[in-house]
Structure 1
Amino acid sequence: MGNKIYPIGIQNFESLRLDGYFYIDKTALIYQLVKSGRYYFMSRPRRFGKSLLISTLEAYFQGKKELFQGLAMEKLEKDWTKYPILHIDLNTQKYDSPQSLESKLNRTLITWEKLYGSEPAEDSLSMRFEGTIQRAYEQTGQRVVILVDEYDKPMLQAIGNKELQNSFRETLKAFYGALKSKDGCIKFAMLTGVTKFGKVSVFSDLNNLDDISMWNEYIELCGISEKEIHKNLETELHEFADVQNMTYDSLCEKLRQYYDGYHFTHNSIGMYNPFSLLNAFKRKEFGSYWFETGTPTYLVELLKRHHYNLERMAHTATSKQALNSIDWESPDLIPMLYLNGYLTIKEYDEEFGICHLSFPNKEVEEGFTRIPQKE
C-alpha cells in the first residue's frame, strides 16, 4: 500500500525533505544545470514547481548535504561548498504603484545589508544591490548565488497600465543590471517567471542570460513526466485504479487526457501538471485542481478585452520565436496563453517554423469554458 505524503503547496525543499514529503528527484538535472553554465532564466506556468526549483538550488548552494540523502545529487556532488545566497521572491506582494515594487526591493536589500553591511554612497536600489553582491563576495571569500523567484510578477500585475508597466520595467532593468556589472563576484544566477517580456525587456542588458525555457534537455526540470510517474508512483497507480473501479490501463489513459500534454518546445515529451496530478493521487479522484485555484486576474481581463474565441484558440498557429516572449501592448494573446499554460504545442511545421497550438488537456479545455467572456 502506498503511504506517500503528497507535497501539495509545499514549495520549500528543506521542509519537504525534513517532513518526509514525496519528492520526484530532479537533482541530477540541477547538478547538470549548475555545472554547465552560470546565468539562467526559465519560464513555466503557475504551480509548475518553479519555487521548489529555486528552493532546491538554495539548499544545494547552502551546502546542506543531509537534505539530498538518497537523491542523485548525493553521489554527484563531492565538494558541498557553502556560498552566500541572495534570494528574491517577488511573488509575495501586490504591485499597484511604483512605490510598491520599490518597497519590496528595499525590504529585501535591508535584510541583506544587515548581513553584509551598506555604504552611504549607494543611493539607489541598483547600487545597493551591486554593493551587497561585492561585500558578500569579499566577506565570505566565495562568489555569490542569486536566485529570483517570479521575476515578472510586478509586470504582470501592471498589464493594462502603460505608465506603471514602464515604471516597473525601468526599475527592474536597472536592478537586474547588477548581475552583469558584478559578473566577477557571481557564481550562479537563476531567474524564474511565467513570462518573458519582449521588446524593451528587463533583460535587455543581460545578454549573458541563458533562457532554457524551450531547451529540450531541461524539459523535466519542472513538471512531471510519464516516465517519472511509473518510476515513482506505480503502486499508487494500481490503488487509484481500484478506488475508481477502473483497469490500470484505463486509469493511466485518463490521467494522460486530463493532466498530460504540456509541450514546452516543438520536439519535447509531454509533461504533466504537477499540482493537478498530485492532488488527483492524494484524493484518488479526478478534478480540475489547477483551474480551481483561479485564473490570474490579468489574463481574465485580457481575454474579455480581446473577445477571445474558444474554437479559434483551440486551432491556432504561430512562430516558435513568438511563443517565447510577450509584448503587453500587442492584441495577440496567443503567446500569453501559451506561457501561462492554457495552450501548448501540438504539432510543428519544420519547413516554415510554425507551431500549431491547442489546449494541453481536458482540464484546461473544460476549465476555459468557465472563464467569463466579455458581455
Structure 2
Amino acid sequence: METMPLRKLPIGIQDFASLREDGFLYVDKTALVYRMVTTGKPYFMSRPRRFGKSLLLSTLKAYFLGRKDLFEGLAIEQLEKDWTVYPVLHLSLNAQFYENKRSLEQVLEGHLMDWEKEYGETPKELGLAARFMLIIRQACEKTGQKVVVLIDEYDKPLLRTLADDELHQVYREMLTGFYTVLKDADPYLRFVFITGVTKFSQLGIFSNLNQLVDLSMNPFYATICGMTRNEIEQTFRPEIEMLAATHDRTFDDTMNELTRRYDGYRFTAMQKEGIYNPFSILNVFFSTMYQDYWFATGTPTSLVEMLQKTNYDLRQLDGLEVPAAALTDYRVDFKNPVPIIYQSGYLTIKGYDPIKNNYVLGYPNAEVKYGWLNFITPYYTPLSEVTAPFYIGKFWDELRDCDVDPFMERMRAFFADFPYELNDKTERHYQVVFYIVFKLLGQYIDVEIRSARGRADAVVKTTDYIYVFEFKLDGSVDEALRQIDDKGYLIPYTVDGRKLIKVGASFDKAERNIGEWKVESDT
C-alpha cells in the first residue's frame, strides 16, 4: 500500500484556536460566519450531537476576540477589515452528567466566577441569573464594547433528565431564569448565539426571548455544520485516495460508499445537497475502516423508551409525513416522540410538500438506519446486541442459498424465544418484529418492506433469487400465496432474470408464532 504524508485530522477538536495553531485540517466555514455576524444579532441553532456546533461557537469566539491571525488564508480574512475586540462570555453545558440540582448550579457558578475574575465581582446573594445580568453590564462598561454571549449545548441538562420529570422541571425553571436575562441585557449585547440538539418550546427562553432568530432550518446556513461532498473532495482528497487504495476501490466508488453510509442530512425544506456527518467522515479517514462512529458515541435509550411508552408503530418512522409545525414547535411530547428523534439526528428531511406544508422524514443514511435498528432490536425481540448480528447473518446465508425452510424454521425459533413478559404483545408488535428482521437484512441484500397498498409484506433480492413474502395474521398459507398472485406482487420482477420464489406464511395466534408456510417457485 502506498503511504501519504501524515496530515492532522481534527477528530474531537472543538477549539478553533488549537485547531489553527496546531495545523489541523479545516473545512472553511468562515464566509458563513461573516454573513451571520454582520446580518443579525441573537441566534439559535439546533443540530445533532457531534456535528460541529462547539467548533462553530469557538470560531465565533476567536472572531469576536479579534484573533485575525487564526483566520489567515480563510475566506473571512478578505471580508473583515476592522477585527474589533469584544468581551466574550462563553458558556458550555456539555461536560457534566447533571444528576441533581447542585450539579447544574456548580456549572453555572463556575462560569460566573471565571467571568468575574475579568470583569469584576458580583454579590453572591443576588442569585445566578442576577449575577449573570450584572456581569454582562460590567463587561460592557469596563471594555467600552458590547458583549458577545455564546452558549453551547444549552439543553444538555434537559436531555439528561427526559425520563425524570421532577428534575427536568427543576432544570427547566433554572435555565429559563438564567437564559432570559439576555432579553433585558439586550442594550449591552453585540451578539448572541445559542446551540443545542433540541429547542424546547416549554422553556421560557423561546417565548420570553422572542427576538431570538432560529437558524435551524434556514437555507442560508444549512451547511454551516457538517460537510458537503464538494468540501470533502476538496479538503480531504489524499485521505479519500488512501481509503480507496486500502479497500481496492476507485475514487468514485469510495465517495459513493461514504455517501451511502454518512451523507443524507437535510435541515431545510428546499435543500438539494445532503450533509455528511463530519465525525464519521473524519474517523473513517483516520482509521481507513468503515464503521458506525457517530452512532457508537451515543445511545438513544431515552428515545426508544419514549417509543415503547407510547406504543409508537416503529414502522412509521421511515417515510413518515409530518406537518411543518411538528418540526418547528419542538415540544417535548411523550405522546409524539418524532420531533425529538428528528432533532437528535436519527431522522432527517427527505421531502417537502409546499402545498400541504408537510415534510417527509426518513433515516439519513446507512450508518443511522442500521445502527438504530440494531440498537432497538433487544427492546422488541429476545435478541441481545451480541446475538442480533449473528441471527441476521444466518438469515442472510439461508436466503442467499435458497434455503427457505431453514430460514422459516429459524424465524419460528426466533419467536419461540420471546420471554414470558413479551408474550402478551399485540399483533402489531409481531408485525414490527417482522419489519426489524427484514430491514436488518437490508445491510447485506436488497430488501423492500411494504410501505403502500398493493405490495407484498417483504421482497428480498439476492444475487440469484427474488423472494416475495406474504404473512397472514388472520388467514391461511394458501390465502397468502393466492394474494401474491391476485395482487400481482411478482409482476414488477418478471423480466429481472432471477428466479422468483413465493413464500406464504400464517401466524398462529394461540402459539404466538409462525404456523405453516409454503414455498413456490414461479419460474
TM-score normalised by L of structure 2: 0.69
1:366 to 367, 370, 385: 370
2:23 to 17, 20, 23: 20
Corresponding residue SS for 2:133: helix
Residue of structure 2 in register with 1:44 after alignment:
47
Deviation at 1:119, TM superposition (A): 3.8
- Tell me if 1:327 matches 2:318: no
Residue of structure 2 in register with 1:232 after alignment:
235
Deviation at 1:279, TM superposition (A): 0.9
Change (3 A) 1:297 1:95: farther
Q: Give the gaps of 5 or more residues in structure 2.
A: 381-421, 423-523
**Percent identical across equivalent pairs?**
47
Aligned partners of 1:82 and 1:75: how far apart in 2? 18
Deviation at 1:239, TM superposition (A): 2.6
Corresponding residue SS for 2:149: strand
- Tell me if 1:55 matches 2:58: yes
Aligned runs of 1:1-375 on 2, under 5 Å? Answer: 1=4, 3-120=6-123, 123-268=126-271, 269-371=273-375, 372-373=378-379
Aligned partners of 1:86 and 1:173: how far apart in 2? 18
Q: Does structure 2 retain, via aligned residues, the 8 Å contact 1:308–1:373?
A: no
CA RMSD of aligned residues (A): 1.7
Deviation at 1:190, TM superposition (A): 0.5
Aligned partners of 2:160 and 2:298: how far apart in 1? 15
Q: Does structure 1 retain, via aligned residues, the 8 Å contact 2:180–2:204?
A: no
Deviations 1:327-347 (A, max 9, x none): 224311111111011001111
Tell me how many residue pairs correspond in the alignment: 375
Deviation at 1:17, TM superposition (A): 0.8
Deviations 1:238-267 (A, max 9, x none): 332122111222111111110000011111
Deviation at 1:317, TM superposition (A): 1.3
Corresponding residue SS for 1:187: strand
Deviations 1:167-219 (A, max 9, x none): 21121111111111011111101000000012454321111101000001001
Deviations 1:278-314 (A, max 9, x none): 1111222211111111224433433443445443211
Q: Does structure 2 retain, via aligned residues, the 8 Å contact 1:303–1:373?
A: no
Corresponding residue SS for 2:206: coil
117-126 vs 72-81, greater mean Cα deviation: 117-126
Q: Does structure 2 retain, via aligned residues, the 8 Å contact 1:347–1:356?
A: yes
Q: Does structure 1 retain, via aligned residues, the 8 Å contact 2:129–2:177?
A: yes
Deviations 1:94-140 (A, max 9, x none): 22222222221112111111222234386121110110000000001
Higher alpha-carbon Rg: 2
Q: Does structure 2 retain, via aligned residues, the 8 Å contact 1:173–1:203?
A: no
Aligned partners of 1:199 and 1:110: how far apart in 2? 29
164-173 vs 82-91, greater mean Cα deviation: 164-173
Corresponding residue SS for 1:188: strand
Aligned partners of 1:185 and 1:120: how far apart in 2? 20
Corresponding residue SS for 2:194: strand
